[in-house]
Amino acid sequence: MADQSVESCPIRTPEKSTKVESVSIPPGCPMHKPAEEKKTIPPGCPMHKSSELNETNMMPNLAQTKQPDQTVDLPTERVISSIPKSKESDAKWEYPSPQQFYNALRRKGWETPEEHIETM
């Protein structure tokens, strides 16, 4: 057998043109809209209320206020957990107060008897 040197790829592909042709972008393409265009937020959207996120835990600030139709006064004191926030810190997580918990349940549509909240 004769020794043959391989000078090209053994798989032949048709020659491709390197000429770049201009392509028109369809007007509905979301990837090519101007950066200045801002989305409008519907006024009833629950994710964009005026309250800001708490920077320490990236959670919304939980309301401690009593509901208008609430008849039982619930405690607003939070309890410190035994769970550490991180290995580098001695800080511990805090449980929501019974009032915060009740408000969250109401916000999510759960009708929970007020007198049962403290035992949860």
Structure confidence by residue, pLDDT tens digits, 54-110: 777 777 777 888 989 999 999 999 999 999 988 888 899 999 999 999 999 998 999
Task: Fill in the DSSP letter of residue 115.
Answer: G
Residue 2 neighbours by CB distance under 10 Å: 3
For the segment 3-31, the average pLDDT, to the nearest whole number, is 69
Number of domains forming the structure of the chain: 1
- Tell me, yes or no, whether 54 lies in a domain: no
| Helical (H) or strand (E) element with 37 | none
The whole-number pLDDT of residue 79 equals 92
Residue 1 neighbours by CB distance under 10 Å: 3
Task: Name the residue range of residue 79's domain.
Answer: 62-120
CA distances from 87 to 54, 81, 92 (A): 21, 15, 10
For the segment 8-26, the average pLDDT, to the nearest whole number, is 70
- Tell me, yes or no, whether 52 lies in a domain: no
Return mean pLDDT, the chain: 78
Tokens of 103: 């408000």
Percent of the chain with pLDDT over 70: 65
